[in-house]
Amino acid sequence: MIWTPELASFLEDAPWPATKEELIDFAERSGAPMQVIDNLQELEEEDALYEGIEDIWPDSINQDDDLYYDEDTDDEGYY
């Protein structure tokens, strides 16, 4: 199961909390890429209730994280 921020973004409007089957149904109806559906099918717990993407992909970037990109920095991140 490989998640990227782009793939995870397809689940932003999912009906959280949701079961595996509800998430797969949402992904199919919303036109998510097959990789998203494949990833959801690989979830082990059939009846688990997932509260958000963090339950599916613990390494996901939370919107509350303080991440920014400054175009004035060089490749090493220094000014």
Domain spans in the chain, listed from the N-terminal domain onward: 5-56
Q: What is the pLDDT of residue 58?
A: 86
User: Rounded to an integer, what distance in angstroms lies between the CA atom of residue 36 and that of residue 57?
Assistant: 12
Read off the pLDDT of residues 20-49 as tens digits, 9 standing for 90 and up: 999 999 999 999 999 999 999 999 888 899
CB-side exposure of 32: number of CA atoms within 13 Å? 24
Burial 23-52 (b: 16+ CB within 10 A, else e): bbbbbeeeebeebbbebbeebeeeeeebee
Name the pTM for this structure: 0.74
